[in-house]
Amino acid sequence: MASSSGNDDDLTIPRAAINKMIKETLPNVRVANDARELVVNCCTEFIHLVSSEANEICNKSEKKTISPEHVINALESLGFGSYITEVKDVLQECKSVALKRRKASSRLENLGIPEEELLRQQQELFAKARQQQAELAQQEWLQMQQAAEQAHMAATSASAAQQAGSSQDEDDDDDI
Amino acid sequence: MSTHTAADKDSAAPANNKTISLPISRVRLIMKSSPDVSSINQDALFLTTKATELFVQYLAVSSFNNGSGKESNSLSYSDLASAAEETDTFHFLTDILPKKILAGDYLKTLEQMQDEEADN
């Protein structure tokens, strides 16, 4: 998914995301490949358009960061005012979802277990994990040792067989 | 792949869902590659991402509705190019999607240009 070229201008929305949107928007419509490619590039162009316009509005307001207001005004001045209600709705939705998530996680924190106890449990888990890791490592080491021994034995018996076979008429004094 | 979404949508109107499907991080990267853009508020980023989604939907739908492929249920490059020319808000796209011309016509135009230069 990461672009292999470092060129900023090659940044586009992933083709798969566009294909999915097209499929959901125009179900059962056959869309030519070059048309899809075009939509990908139109996206990038649109983002640049809105960013530049929002940036100009931002500069005029003497603020340093592009705010939601700047984007909304940019959409209006570019002729996309009809999008404003819906994008605002989605923003509200995203924010309330994020808020719910934060509330849920803080509910988890308030289970009633004191911090010291939680810390102790955590240390126990870590110790157990370390022990398991150590046992695993030792097992692996033993297996490797056994495998190495077997390989060594196989190699020496093979070379012994070879030597025995190739020097039948010689006195074989070689110690293996 | 669920098909129920196709059934409960009016095929002419873009979908109205409350989530964002495009990758926000990628949108941020593209925004930052615009000249002079420094920092973008997170909410502003959400708005831009959703607006881009809506743009894709509108572009697809209006190109299809005004295009020549409606009977055959298809959407082509030229449908999009036409929409860009005919719709005011899509004019900014004409730079990146010139209507395709036949190679022969292009060569003819090139020859004409060269002739004009030679005359000067």
- pLDDT of chain A, 176 residues: tens digit per residue: 444 445 556 789 999 999 999 999 999 999 999 999 999 999 999 999 999 999 999 999 989 999 999 999 999 999 999 999 999 998 888 888 888 888 888 777 777 777 788 889 899 999 999 999 999 999 999 999 998 999 888 888 888 887 777 655 555 555 55
Cβ contact A78–B89 (<8 Å): yes
Best mutation site among B32, B55, B74 for testing chain A: the one with the most A CBs within 10 Å?
B55
Looking at per-residue pLDDT, the higher value among B1 and B112 belongs to B112
Other C-beta atoms within 10 Å of A18: how many?
Answer: 23
First-last CA distance in chain A = 57
> A40 in contact with B at a CB cutoff of 8 Å?
no
Separation of alpha carbons B49 and A54, rounded Å: 13
Closest CA of chain A from B111, distance in Å:
28
- Do A54 and A74 meet the contact criterion of CB atoms below 8 Å apart? yes
State the Rg of chain A over Cα: 34
Taking alpha carbons only, the member of B24, B25, B93 closest to residue B58 is: B93
Give me the interface pTM, i.e. the ipTM.
0.73
Q: Is A167 helix (H, G, I), strand (E, B) or coil?
A: coil
* pTM of the model as a whole: 0.64
